[in-house]
Amino acid sequence: MQKTPELPPLLQPAGDERLMPEFPIYCMPYRYPRGPVAKLHVHSCLEVGLCQSGAGVLVVEDKVLPYQAGDVAVINNRELHFVRGEEESISQWMFFWVDPARLIGLVAVDPGVLRIDCLGGPEFSNIISGVDHPEIALLVQGIIDELQAHAPNHQAAVRGLVWALMARLQRLPGLGSGEVGTVHASIDRIAPALHHMASQYTEAIRIEELAELCHMSATHFRRVFQTVTGKSPLRYLTQLRIRMAITLIQRGGQSMQQIAREIGYATLSSFNRHFKATTGMSPRQWRRANQRDKGAVRLEKQRQ
């Protein structure tokens, strides 16, 4: 039986560098243990994963996206990201890395279907629910099965499945424009600070510490950070913490006091103030609204 590699801290997952010119797709399992957070990283191709067990969050730049077993992750070649499993469980994933345009080649009637740059952006959800989109989860599982089995004509089957998957992905809401903006052109300058905030967001973080990691003065760092992300370092960190809090509220089972402590707030009043400033409502109001929305969705599914 193949041993599943653990993902150690600060290691960029293998994948894009293993793509062969004649068949640019590669499949590999990963497991995300409790505790350490992998380094923010980006690939030169499309990364697609299927969560087989466990739960956690996918952090894509300033997006915090909860996942569970059966969900699909889709990350393009421009967005920094990492996966963090829940404290109580180990997340088991199957990933593949692919260059769709090179894999499908000139056979494609509509080359726009094979674009990966638009599969990202602030409005795009990189986690696709396997419950809401079973057709996408089935296509991803089919690609993984073909890559692992190496049956006769498996390369032709993989090409067909990838083509079908890309067509489905292009129908999702929130697709980005695909244009390279200031953020992606300069984000490497502040990448050490982004990683430090993502991995140490529960701790007190000083601007001077972040600036030193990026080899800048504090004043210059603030200016560059604002230009690249469109927000101050403090606002970025606050939004990251609050989005982490939202995933914990969605999961349930913890009091607001426990959630506040877990994401780095010393007092509940401070957490409540920052949560309302970010979302427009208190944590308890957000929880009630979320519970109503979930109830409405369940009722609608029952009627269907």
Give the pLDDT band of residue 208 (cuts 50, 70, 90): very high
Segment 184-190 mean pLDDT: 69
The answer on 154 and 188 residing in a single domain is no
Mean pLDDT of 88-112: 82
Give the CATH number, domain containing residue 263: 1.10.10.60
Examine the pLDDT at 8 and tell me if it is beyond 50.
no
Predicted confidence at residue 34, as pLDDT, reads: 55
Mean pLDDT, residues 267-273 taken together: 94
Mean pLDDT, range 186-215, rounded to an integer:
87
pLDDT digits (tens, 9 = 90+) for 14-72: 455 678 888 999 999 988 765 545 567 788 899 999 999 988 888 887 788 889 999 99
pLDDT category at 121 given cuts 50, 70, 90 is: confident
| 119 shares its domain with 190 | no
Q: Domain for residue 227, yes or no?
A: yes
Residue 258 has pLDDT above 80, yes or no: yes
Supply the pLDDT for residue 1: 38
Check residue 56 and give its pLDDT.
Answer: 84
In the predicted structure, residue 269 carries a pLDDT above the cut 80: yes
Query: For residue 98, what pLDDT band results from cuts at 50, 70 and 90?
Result: very high
Domain count, the chain: 2
* Same-domain pairing of 132 and 212: no
Domain assignment of residue 175, yes or no = no
Query: Does residue 238 lie within any of the structural domains?
Result: yes
Across residues 147-164, what is the average pLDDT?
A: 95
Q: What integer pLDDT is reported at residue 7 of this predicted model?
A: 36
User: Can you give the pLDDT at residue 11?
Assistant: 35
DSSP calls for the chain: -PPPPB--TT-PPS-GGG-BTTB-EEEEEEEE-SSPPPPPB--SSEEEEEEEE-EEEEEETTEEEEEETT-EEEE-SS--EEEEE-TT--EEEEEEEE-HHHHHGGG-S-GGGG--TTS-STT--SEE-TTT-HHHHHHHHHHHHHHHH--TTHHHHHHHHHHHHHHHHTTSTT-------HHHHHGGGTHHHHHHHHHSTTS---HHHHHHHTTS-HHHHHHHHHHHHSS-HHHHHHHHHHHHHHHHHHH-SS-HHHHHHHTT-SSHHHHHHHHHHHHSS-HHHHHHHHHHHHHHHHHHHHH-
Please give the mean pLDDT across all residues of the chain. 83
- Domain encompassing residue 188: 182-293
Instruction: Write the pLDDT tens digit of every residue in 67-85.
Output: 999 999 999 988 888 887 7
Q: Which residue has the higher pLDDT, 78 or 153?
A: 153
Q: Are residues 84 and 214 in the same domain?
A: no
On whether residue 174 sits in a domain, the answer given is no
- pLDDT recorded at residue 19: 85
Which of 169, 192, 221 finishes a domain?
A: 169
Which one has a higher pLDDT value, 168 or 300? 168
Confidence of residue 183 (pLDDT cuts 50, 70, 90): very low
Let me know whether 160 and 194 are in one domain: no
Instruction: Verify that 209 and 153 share a domain, yes or no.
Output: no
